[in-house]
Copies of this chain bind each other. A is one copy, B any other.
Amino acid sequence: MVGGGEGAFIGGVHRIAARLDGQFVLVAGALSSDPARARASGRAMGLAEDRIYDDFAAMAEAEAARPDGVQAVAIVTPNHKHAAPAQAFLTRGIHVLCDKPLAATAAQAQAMAQAAASSDALFVLTHNYTAYPMVRAARAMVAEGMLGALRVVQVEYAQDWLTEPVRNKQADWRTDPARAGAGALGDIGTHAFNLLEFVTGLRVEELAAELHSFVPGRAVDDNAHVLLRLGQGARGQLWVSQVAVGRENGLRLRLHGETGGLEWDQEEPDRLWHTPFGQPRRLLTRNGAGMPEVLKPLTRVPAGHPEGYLEGFANLYAEAARAIRAHGTGGPPARTALPTLEDGLRGMAFIAACQQSSAQNAAWVGLAP
């Protein structure tokens, strides 16, 4: 692991997710850009002394040289520190699981793309919400045509933790343009955008955005409203906010097609509302009646026994483990639904397009397909 030392949030999530299905063991880390903290964190996690590194470069070099070196690395640093470690590990053939958004700048993102293209190793971007079973179910239903051609899509990701000026490790870098690249748009907007394209199979072709910073002194956006034009004539709205008082982690997706509708809410992840036009609404549940067999590997307990955020995240790790094993046997790479570097580039393009549109008074800006 690179990053994720004491006081970090997402690093701990990655560690639990990696451990949950017993497919990964944490053996080495450069857990902080502060060597003393890196060392203390490594010891607290029980790493062997010689595998606690002061920085990612040393770690990449040393681990690549060990016969028992790491097979994969999780990069859980702030956005502007994704690129360099990703390059260092990919270059050495070590698989990378990297937090989102891909990077803080387009240049960083391009460097990562080149490193990935010239490496045999896998790159997985942890858009964890795509790995919830009911999100996968929604995607399958859309793909099977159960909604007909999509017409209207509504996606939102609303939180309230930045309603007031906040100073702590989590908030500081997320509200610093240099380290984050964008505010709510990068931190959660990319999740919403990715989820939308993942489930619908459609591409956003044009958007018109208005970004806003409501909290005095905040240097990045904390709210964004975006009009969307998608492929096949679909239209949509996207809303992202970190000042929406009353919302904890409100990622919601609603799809309306010619013959059906779907609704999903991250805070009730095991439930998916489906309305076939002209019939009563149905509440589909994870492992409940009618759940497709193909989703079983994404679940661990029966219907009614809630799975949550960590299990969804763990699904990414479990799929990565399968892909890595397949890769190791020289077999053909497993076809997976794992988010890729291309998803990351697309997220960067989404951020850039929103920023450009907003700077031009919400003019339409195209996204390359």
B256:A246 contact, CB within 8 angstroms: yes
B245:A275 contact, CB within 8 angstroms: yes
Stretch at the interface among A58-66, A97-105, A232-240: A232-240
Chain B residues positioned under 8 Å from A19 (CB to CB): 19-20, 22
Decide yes or no: A283 and B280 within 8 Å by CB, A20-B19, A273-B246 being known contacts.
yes
B160:A261 contact, CB within 8 angstroms: yes
Copies of the chain in the assembly: 4
Q: Tell me if A51 is interfacial: C-beta within 8 Å of chain B.
A: no
Q: Tell me if A290 is interfacial: C-beta within 8 Å of chain B.
A: yes
Tell me which residues from 302 to 348 in chain A have a Cβ below 8 Å from any Cβ of chain B: 302-311
Chain B residues positioned under 8 Å from A263 (CB to CB): 246
Decide yes or no: A241 and B364 within 8 Å by CB, A227-B225, A267-B306, A282-B280 being known contacts.
no
B307:A310 contact, CB within 8 angstroms: yes
Inter-chain CA distance A239–B16, complex, in Å, is 36
A239:B307 contact, CB within 8 angstroms: no
Chain B residues positioned under 8 Å from A248 (CB to CB): 285, 288, 302-304
A227:B362 contact, CB within 8 angstroms: yes
Stretch at the interface among A110-118, A174-182, A190-198, A206-214: A206-214
Chain B residues positioned under 8 Å from A43 (CB to CB): none
Stretch at the interface among A31-39, A86-94, A151-159: A151-159
Q: Tell me if A269 is interfacial: C-beta within 8 Å of chain B.
A: yes
Q: Tell me if A268 is interfacial: C-beta within 8 Å of chain B.
A: yes
Name, among A225, A260, A284, the residue most crowded by chain B CB atoms within 10 Å (CB to CB): A225
* Closest chain B residue to A312, Cβ basis: B306
> Distance in Å from the Cβ of A15 to the closest Cβ of chain B?
7
Name, among A12, A212, A279, A309, the residue most crowded by chain B CB atoms within 10 Å (CB to CB): A309
A256:B241 contact, CB within 8 angstroms: yes
Tell me which residues from 205 to 224 in chain A have a Cβ below 8 Å from any Cβ of chain B: 208, 210, 212, 214, 223
Chain B residues positioned under 8 Å from A267 (CB to CB): 304, 306
Inter-chain CA distance A136–B260, complex, in Å, is 28
Name, among A147, A235, A248, the residue most crowded by chain B CB atoms within 10 Å (CB to CB): A248
Q: Tell me if A140 is interfacial: C-beta within 8 Å of chain B.
A: no
> Distance in Å from the Cβ of A222 to the closest Cβ of chain B?
9
* Closest chain B residue to A279, Cβ basis: B289
* Closest chain B residue to A308, Cβ basis: B306
Query: Can you list, as one digit per residue, whether each of A227-270 has a CB less than 8 Å from chain B (1) or not (0)?
Result: 10000000111010101111111100010111111110011111
Inter-chain CA distance A19–B246, complex, in Å, is 34
> Distance in Å from the Cβ of A260 to the closest Cβ of chain B?
6
Query: Can you list, as one digit per residue, whether each of A288-306 has a CB less than 8 Å from chain B (1) or not (0)?
Result: 1110000000001111111
A303:B208 contact, CB within 8 angstroms: no
Decide yes or no: A277 and B163 within 8 Å by CB, A152-B223, A300-B12, A310-B301 being known contacts.
yes
Q: Tell me if A57 is interfacial: C-beta within 8 Å of chain B.
A: no
Contact partner, A282, options B281, B285, B310, Cβ 8 Å: B281
